[in-house]
Amino acid sequence: MTDPIFTAWKPEHSALWGNVPLHLKHRLHQHELFSRPALARLIEAAPKSNYMLIETGRPNERKLWREGEMGKLSGMEVMDAIASGRIWLNLLRVNEIDPQYGKLLDEIFAELEGRIPGFKTFKQINGILISSPRAQVYYHFDTAGQTLWQIAGSKRVFLYPKEPPFLTPETLENVILYNNETGIKYENWYEEYAQCIDLHPGEMAQWPLNMPHRIENADELSVSMTIEYFTTDIRRNMFVNGANGLLRDKLKVKPTRTLSGPSLMAKTALYAAASKSGLLKRGRKQRRPITFTLDKEFLAKPAVSAPAPDAARPAESVLGGD
């Protein structure tokens, strides 16, 4: 038997998983797949469809948020550029780029499913987020289950209640239906209600489904692994909220929020039909254009300061999102 991935799992973590924010220890920061040469190879092997490269702003500075692509730099040079810039590189579905990362994903879920009674997952994907000192991910929430594993550097995760006004049913429905996060409201006073988790190498965080959060890097290069997964409950939440959004948005009906029985079946059918008809795709936001190439020329230029289309709330989620 291989060594456990979670190095300090307590029996109570099995009961707490998914219900409250958890801050746990792991050993992946020492794993060969996360060594600098392995990450450099992964960067060099990633096609454009498997990454997002974003230039972002520092906290308390005019917001910047633009998407780029990697030029002809080596993986090591890309990491050096990120270490000295304001950039994050999200390598998406790394299991598609290198099956070894898929094997690791399988090992993680085999261990979790062994530790948490009744925990059965599907559609698991993992990504690797490499980001600059002080880079940040703005206030948002995710529609699938999430975990965040710190490999190198440190970051602070700010978590907020998943109830109004922090997250309203209408916002949840709009994000599920149209992948459009521009309606997420954020107020500075939310910070008084935030719960913080400081993540260092060898630590990971997991939090309840849909819980709003934002992330700030410490003053050093950060490498994290993000994992997204579904369970039947998470899929049910998506179907019901998606169908409720359709009822409210298209049929002008005030929906109930039942998660079981005939209502669930009807909503599942409604959401599936809308999804199949292409109705949802038409309303979904397109990815923003590519406006820079990370190459030697880019590195020689001074930093650009341009506002994001909606600076406080970028359309794509960083954690596991694509």
- The contact mask relative to Fe ion for 44-83 (x = CB under 5 A, - = no) is ----------------------------------------
Q: Which stretch binds Fe ion (CB under 5 A): 85-93, 140-148, 236-244, 246-254?
A: 140-148
Options 73-81, 136-144, 156-164, 192-200: segment touching Fe ion (CB under 5 A): 136-144
Q: Between 142 and 203, whose beta carbon lies closer to Fe ion?
A: 142
The DSSP line for 78-142 is HHHHHHTSSEEEEE--HHHH-HHHHHHHHHHHHHHHHHSTT---EEEEEEEEEE-TT-EEEEE--
Q: How many angstroms separate the Cα of 28 from the Cα of each of 33, 81, 133, 220? A: 8, 24, 21, 19
Binding region for Fe ion (CB under 5 A) out of 24-32, 135-143, 177-185, 283-291: 135-143
Closest CA to 39 of 85, 109, 94: 94
C-alpha span between 213 and 5 (Å, rounded): 25
**Is the CB of 198 or the CB of 297 nearer to Fe ion?**
198
Give the residue, chosen from 55, 77, 142, 203, that forms a contact with Fe ion under the rule CB under 5 A.
142
Least distance CB 319 / Fe ion (angstroms): 3
- In whole angstroms, the minimum distance from the beta carbon of 250 to Fe ion comes to 28
Using CB positions, name the residue nearest to Fe ion: 319
Instruction: Tell me how far apart the alpha carbons of residues 195 and 198 are, in angstroms, rounded to a whole number.
Output: 10
Q: How many residues bind Fe ion (CB under 5 A)?
A: 3
Could you say whether residue 319 binds Fe ion (CB under 5 A)?
Answer: yes
Reading the block at residue 104, the tokens are 């690791």
Q: Which residue has the tokens 């960067």?
A: 43
Candidate ranges 56-64, 170-178, 231-239, 310-318; the one touching Fe ion (CB under 5 A): 310-318
CB 193 within 8 A of CB 160: yes
Residue 266 CB, nearest approach to Fe ion (Å) = 30
Residue spans of beta strands (DSSP E) within 133-252: 136-140, 145-152, 155-159, 195-199, 203-206, 213-217, 222-230
Nearer to Fe ion, 241 or 317 (CB): 317
Residues near Fe ion, by CB under 5 A: 142, 317, 319
